[in-house]
Amino acid sequence: MSAIDQIFADLKSQQRKAFMPFITAGDPDLEFTGEVIKELARRGCSLCELGIPYSDPIADGPVIQASYTRALQQQVRLSQIFEKTTQWTAEVEMPLITMVSYAIIYRQGLEQYVHQAREAGIAGAIVPDLLVDEADELAEICRREDFSLIQLVTPTTPRDRAVKIAQSSSGFLYYVSVTGITGERQELPAQLTDDVGWLKEQTDLPICIGFGISQPEHVQLLGSVADGIIVGSAIVRRFADLAKHSRPEVLDSIGEFVHSLLAALNPSAE
């Protein structure tokens, strides 16, 4: 059982849902990334999605694109991220997952990337640009290494293809709540809960919903059908506040916002 499998098994036994924030590694530097990870773990987050900065965003909206740009301007390298992650994962129990382009994995070498990530204590990878038709080799390496390969299903994914994606994934399945790019939204599609309900009947994997989630009301609505909630842009935009506010202030702002979402997702835990 992988670290991610164990987290979801524990949460299920406690009748709780997973809360997974997204942050960018190295925004504005790796030292602050480490501080934020510790704060997120202290606040009670189940897992943390760590974005590997990439110059050619795939489905990232302007907030996350800007975050990647800030990190790349500091010349953050993958080797540096893995080195720091080794320290962070030794200090927190919350599993870390990379959100990483397949281009980066391919350039490193599939086995090399998985090996380095595991050595750094990382529990899995979300690979948004990996086509399910081309996922077999990486999926096999991940299964062998007990490293979760999380793939994405969107509202426009044909149902037969969604089942195929679920079959080649491990850890959990990432359900994209809206078509288009990441970013905060006031409203989510009315059909979303029905679509996720159908998908849950097709797989034993936990299903986590991301994209567009920015308010406690969203979390309450989707928590009724999802096994976990992923929030990115609504958290990442607070990193831009470092231009005007101190690091302790921004850290507290992130922590308080995450606390409000956690309270909406698992009110009995308060």
Active site residue ranges? 49, 60
For β-strands 124-126 and 96-99, DSSP reports them as parallel
CB-count burial class (<10 Å; 0-12, 13-18, 19+) for 216: middle
Alpha-carbon gap, residue 267 to 240, rounded angstroms: 30
Encoded amino acid at 256, one letter: E
Query: What is the distance between the terminal CA atoms of the chain, rounded to a whole angstrom?
Result: 29
Q: List Cβ neighbours of 179 (8 Å cut-off, separation of 6 or more).
A: 154, 155, 156
Alpha-carbon gap, residue 105 to 113, rounded angstroms: 6
Alpha-carbon gap, residue 210 to 237, rounded angstroms: 16
